[in-house]
Structure 1
Amino acid sequence: MNLQLLCTAPQVTIYFDSWNNWLYIEWEGTLTLPAVQYACLEVAQCFVQHSYPRVLNSNAQVTSMEVEVIPWLTKHLLPYLEMAGIQQLAWVHAPIVRAYALAPQVHKQLPHLNIGVFSDLEDATSWLQQTNPAYLGGHVLLPRPAAEETVLAQTVSQFRQALEHHGIVAETAIYQSRW
């Protein structure tokens, strides 16, 4: 992997892997609902800037997750993954029981998305590399049609406004500045 740091937020670091041409999202620690909401906003911002058809999402370093996280993700994030242009998603599940419930939800809500669920990063990386080997070895960010770009940008803006309305963005920004 050749990782270029795009963003950090509490409990998540987001990279672009220019060798494999995918977004790599690495979660860690305790996933609280406000931290996940803010992190998802940061991830969404990455998709506004570029199209990433392939995503490697690792929860391998997640130690715990609040019970509210999975219902929120299922209702407020998963429906928008296809809008973001994701075609292949390699998902490394967390080593905690609650996290096992999320993968079936992703499959159920996104039947057209090519999803692989794994228990380790090595297997996930190997699978994702095989899903579209034409991308290997090149730094190619695919363009998104202008109409889709506008809809995605508006959706992310509305998401940010909703989080600001509930104080999530301000709360997390203060938390993040203490790091």
Structure 2
Amino acid sequence: MQLELILDQPGLTISYDHDNEWLYVNWQGAHDPVSSRQCCLAMLEVMRRRPTAKILNDNSNITSTTVKLTEWSLSWLQDMYEAGLRYLAWIYAPVFPGRNSTEAIVQYLERPTVASFDDVATAFNWLRRQSSTVPRQ
């Protein structure tokens, strides 16, 4: 797997996976609503500079989080869609108190398609099966 590092900041690393033609977003450490929003905005900036149809969004290295999906989160997902994102494979943090409410919302999202997973391997395999066409802007 050939990863090209694009962004490395506290709590977040974003790389481009050349073999799979997607962004690999690795969240680390503790996150609260403020840090999560900052990281999401960083993801959006990367997407605008380097559009890709797929993101493997790995939260398995998060040690604690108080994050919940909000109206802002849904607006951010729409911005990500407009930047080219079509499929987001979201690997949950090991301890995620907002999981039930998040899953209730995620199942109704249409654009982009968001699927949630408990492990990287299952998310990886799901994402590989999705079409990788990046829409032209």
- Please tell me the TM-score bracket, short chain as reference: 0.7 to 0.9
Matched, 1:105 2:97: no
Asked if residue 15 in structure 1 is aligned to residue 19 in structure 2, the reply is no
Runs of 4+ in 1 over 6 A off after TM superposition: none
Give the alignment of 1:122-133 within 5 angstroms. 122-132=121-131
Aligned to 2:90: 91
More strand by share: 2
Structure 1 residues 83 and 123, CA, compared in 2 at 3 Å: closer, same or farther? same
Residues 53-112 of structure 1 deviation map (CA, whole Å, 9 limit, x = unaligned) = 011101111121125x5336535423323212111111111111324133432333x224
TM score, norm. by length of structure 2: 0.84
- Contact 2:47/2:80, CA 8 A, preserved across alignment: no
Match of 2:28 in 1: 28
Larger proportion of helix:
1
Larger radius of gyration: 1
> Percent identity among equivalent residues?
28
Per-residue CA shift, 1:34-53, capped at 9, x if unaligned? Answer: 22122122111111112110
Contact 2:65 2:96 in 1 (8 A): no
- State the superposition RMSD in angstroms: 2.3
| 1:55-74 matched pairs, under 5 angstroms | 55-67=55-67, 69-71=68-70, 73-74=72-73
With over 3 angstroms needed to count, the CA separation of the structure-2 counterparts of 1:93 and 1:117, relative to structure 1, is same
Give me the TM-score of the superposition, normalised by structure 1.
Answer: 0.66
Structure 2 unaligned regions, length at least 5: none
Q: How many residues align?
A: 136
CA contact (8 A) 2:77 2:112 kept: no
Could you say which residue in structure 2 is the equivalent of 1:148? none
18 and 40 in structure 1: CA distance in 2 versus 1, 3 angstrom threshold: same
Is the 1:50–1:143 Cα contact (8 Å) retained in structure 2?
Answer: no
Q: Tell me the secondary structure at the aligned position of residue 129 of structure 2.
A: helix
Mapped contact 1:57–1:90 kept (Cα < 8 A): yes
